[in-house]
Structure 1
Amino acid sequence: MNGMRWVKLMGLLSGIVLLNVFLLSPGFVGLEIGRSNAMETAAGATVFVMSIVVLVYVSHALIFKPPPALPSGPKAFSREDYLRAFRRFKGMKAYRKEAAAALDQMDRMEKKKAALVGVLSRRFEPSELSFQKFSAAISEVEKLFYLHLRGILNKVSVVHAAGIGAPGDASPHRSDQLIQEKTTLYQQYVVYATGCLSANEGILLKLDQLLLEITKLSLADHRDVMEMACMKEIDVLIQQTKFYKP
């Protein structure tokens, strides 16, 4: 169980203890179980039993809470799905760094897309071939960007489901060999996630370069869009999409 769940569990336990002290202590409400007053006995017993029920139910939910469910199917992911999943993983110590980086990249991607669409709309008509080529390239490279993020989520889900956390979170009751194996698997996840995030940084850089090249185009510049240096580099990235399996 990660640190955040321990905090929630301890907070729940403290709250239940304080509530019982307040209701059952003679110095406060002073409910007593077993006195001749049937109503007071029933109330005290109810408080005690419900406290146990709540503690058992919530503790079970926190300890055995499943990993964030990911949408199924190749086209089921939306931007909101990614945001929701990474925000949940950001609350877990073992995945916090990568989740925060992914959320930051998503925010920057949206800003770059907005800037590119704004520049394209001012320079071309939507019906123009140049506008359509630029838009198609941006859409395809964005698809690769999110495939990288989906790969990270898939890896996190597997690692989390296997109960693999950061090396420092290893239980003292596990053997050295098991700890080493889980540490190795966790490190493999980190290497993979770092590679995906690095690839996305490259995509974001290419979009910056594309924005700069578009702003440099003059109205009299009729060269083929696909002959631009940055568009050639983006096209190479796009070709990777069909071979990429998250």
Structure 2
Amino acid sequence: MQSEKIIKLAVLNLGLAVLEIIFFSEGLLGIQLRGGRAFETALGVTIVVLSFVIFIMGNYKLLFEKEEIINTVNLNTTADYIEALKQNKSKKLFTKDIDNILEQIDRFNNKKETIKDMLLQKFNDDELSYSKFEGTVLDIEHIFYINIKSIINKLNAFDEEDYNFIKSSEAQENYSPKFIKNKRSIYHEYISFIKDSIEDNEVILLKLDKLLLEISRFNSLEDGEIEQMGAMKEIDELIKQTKLFK
């Protein structure tokens, strides 16, 4: 049983016990099930019944229900990606990485909005120049979320309990060094992939920063000048590379 599940069980059951003490202790609320006023007796019975229902349903859910993992095929919105990442925060090995990715999503959205606002100060939204910038930002956003989708796939597949077991003294005693080495190398590939993908998204954020800086330097841009902007060239190259490897 996962330690997080044990903690939740303890909190639930201790919480119910504390509430019962508060409601029925004479020195506190002192609600009586017998011999009290009708309203007080009815309230006491209701509290007991609700406590029993919460106890049964809460413990059943924590002990037997499995949390449904979000399939990456169903990821359509930013909220979907955030929820899928948060589902994996119980995997302690990746807690900081997931926090980092969630922060990256927030930073990307802020930069995207800043670019849009800056472009609308220089162009009308029906101008070709605006459309070119907007199309480029949408393409780079697509790559950004492809990286995150790949990360979520790896997080969903990563078995942290098995990873911790293979590092334990029990595993060392029961399996050959060669087997343990091969098993650990597989898990290290997962870890390396996730960290590399996080860095790839940092590169995307850096390119957006460069694009913002270049846009801020110009009051107006002709179509030919847009293609010659250094940041646009870098982003276009990244988009081409990604399409080649898809």
Match of 1:37 in 2: none
Match of 1:105 in 2: 104
- Give the drift of 1:179: 6.8
- Give the drift of 1:101: 0.7
Match of 2:61 in 1: 61
Match of 2:14 in 1: 14
- Measure, in 2, the Cα distance between the counterparts of 1:3 and 1:173: 19
The 1:118–1:182 alpha-carbon spacing in structure 2 relative to 1, beyond 3 Å, is same
The 1:125–1:58 alpha-carbon spacing in structure 2 relative to 1, beyond 3 Å, is same
- Give the drift of 1:203: 0.2
The 1:127–1:17 alpha-carbon spacing in structure 2 relative to 1, beyond 3 Å, is closer
Residues 1-246 of structure 1 mapped to structure 2, 5 A cutoff: 1-15=1-15, 58-59=58-59, 61-63=61-63, 65-66=65-66, 68-71=68-71, 73=73, 76-159=75-158, 162=159, 164=161, 167=164, 175-176=171-172, 177=175, 183-219=184-220, 223-244=224-245
- Give the drift of 1:70: 1.8
88-97 or 191-200: which moved more? 88-97
Per-residue displacement from partner, 1:16-39 (whole Å, max 9, x unpaired)?
5557888999x98899xxxxxxxx
Structure ranking higher in helix proportion: 2
SS of residue matched to 1:175: helix
- Measure, in 2, the Cα distance between the counterparts of 1:140 and 1:220: 21
Match of 1:40 in 2: none
- Measure, in 2, the Cα distance between the counterparts of 1:16 and 1:179: 44
- Measure, in 1, the Cα distance between the counterparts of 2:186 and 2:65: 21
- Give the drift of 1:66: 3.5
- Give the drift of 1:174: 5.4
- Give the drift of 1:88: 2.8
Gaps of 5+ in 2: 34-43
SS of residue matched to 2:124: coil
Kept in 2, the 8 Å contact 1:67–1:157? The answer is: no
- Measure, in 1, the Cα distance between the counterparts of 2:169 and 2:19: 34
Kept in 2, the 8 Å contact 1:90–1:96? The answer is: yes
- Give the drift of 1:69: 2.4
Q: TM-score, normalised by structure 2?
A: 0.74
Kept in 2, the 8 Å contact 1:210–1:231? The answer is: yes
SS of residue matched to 2:73: coil
Considering only aligned residues, what root-mean-square deviation do their CA atoms show, in Å? 3.9
- Give the drift of 1:12: 2.6
Q: TM-score, normalised by structure 1?
A: 0.74
SS of residue matched to 1:86: helix
SS of residue matched to 1:230: helix
Gaps of 5+ in 1: 32-42
Would you say how many aligned residue pairs link Structure 1 and Structure 2? 229
SS of residue matched to 2:220: coil
Kept in 2, the 8 Å contact 1:2–1:92? The answer is: no
The 1:148–1:164 alpha-carbon spacing in structure 2 relative to 1, beyond 3 Å, is farther
205-214 or 171-180: which moved more? 171-180
- Give the drift of 1:68: 4.8
- Give the drift of 1:58: 3.9
Match of 1:38 in 2: none
- Measure, in 2, the Cα distance between the counterparts of 1:116 and 1:90: 31
Kept in 2, the 8 Å contact 1:94–1:165? The answer is: no
Kept in 2, the 8 Å contact 1:9–1:62? The answer is: yes
